[in-house]
Amino acid sequence: MKIGTAIKHNGLRDLIMNRYLYMLAVPAVLFSIIFAYLPMIGIIIAFQDFNPLKGMFQSKFVGLDNFKFFFRGQDWWIITVNTVYFNLLFIITGTIVALLLAIIVTELGKNLAVRTMQSIMILPNFISWPIVGLFSVAFFTADTGTINQLLSSLSLQNIEFYTNPYVWPVIFVLANIWKGAGFSAIIYMAAIIGIDKGLYEAAKIDGASKIQCIYLITLPLLKSTIIMLFLLSLGGIFGGNLDMIYSLIGDNPLLSKTTDTIDIYVFRGLRTSGSLGMSQAISLYQSIVGFILVIYANKIAKRFDGDSAIF
């Protein structure tokens, strides 16, 4: 009883002493409650034959029928594998390229050319995927596309992009790098700038080259940042990048086996069947598996490096 009272008093004392900091946190807490936690009541739709006219609390309860619709065939496994495969490719390649860009830019120093390069790097992040999709038609069209015209001028065989599903994983990865790596590099640049310059000076005195400084100082000190960002990215590994994939290929049945992800499947199912319950059930499946992955990945990270864990 005394221990509980002491903890209560310590908590109250901390609340009083840091009241202004807690007041600053109130808007963020309210925002999270209103826009992140209260909408979670909509999970109930996953277990209903939802009727918008009746609402959530009067629609017919159907149990796990909405989940059976997704899991009864083989498509759910192919779609899940595609989703994980694409997102792992995006996370790994995006991290590598963002690191390289951050290291190169910081090594070049500060001048007008470098600042211009930084602006050019982050510009694609502000271009929406539908706009990118419109430009992609000019590149990938079979007869008049820029790439096929270039191949024809070199007497090479044209590529039927919109009928060949095996070229799209490469295209998706390149598009994701082009659009997001420059913006992600800013985080690593901030971490590199925070590294003590005395470490580099001491290494140079000992005869270390720039490559050795990067390998022995920069990368090890960025380990915690890399792992933390990887864990945060892992939470969305079951997200299907609907905006990117749908903007680039649309509803193309010739590519669906290779390019369909969970989000694409949900979007198509919602448009064709209009079943909000089925869509919510699949989204709930995404969220639960993503949450489990983050928990276990965080435990693994904590085991090897406690400072790298999120919690």
Q: At a CB cut-off of 8 Å and minimum separation 6, what does 189 contact? A: 102, 105, 106
Of 248, 265, 106, 99, the closest CA to residue 165 belongs to: 248
Q: H/E element holding 58?
A: none
Indicate the DSSP class of residue 274: -
pLDDT for the residue numbered 1? 45
Q: Longest Cα pair distance anywhere in the chain, in angstroms?
A: 86
What letter represents residue 48's amino acid?
Answer: Q
pLDDT for the residue numbered 8? 52
CA distance 232 to 192: 20
Q: At a CB cut-off of 8 Å and minimum separation 6, what does 143 contact? A: none
For domain 73-308, give the CATH number: 1.10.3720.10
Per-residue tens of pLDDT for the chain, all 311 residues: 445 454 455 667 877 888 888 888 899 999 999 988 888 888 888 888 888 888 888 888 888 888 887 787 677 888 888 888 898 899 999 999 999 999 988 888 777 877 888 888 888 888 889 898 888 888 888 777 888 888 888 888 888 888 888 889 999 999 999 998 888 898 898 888 888 888 888 888 888 888 888 888 888 888 888 888 887 787 777 776 788 888 888 888 888 888 888 888 888 877 777 778 888 888 888 888 878 887 887 787 777 666 666 66
Beta bridge partners of 49: 60
Residue ranges covered by each domain of the chain = 1-63, 73-308
| Chain position carrying tokens 């390149």 | 174
- What pTM, to 2 d.p., does this model score? 0.81
CA distance 2 to 24: 32
pLDDT for the residue numbered 5? 53
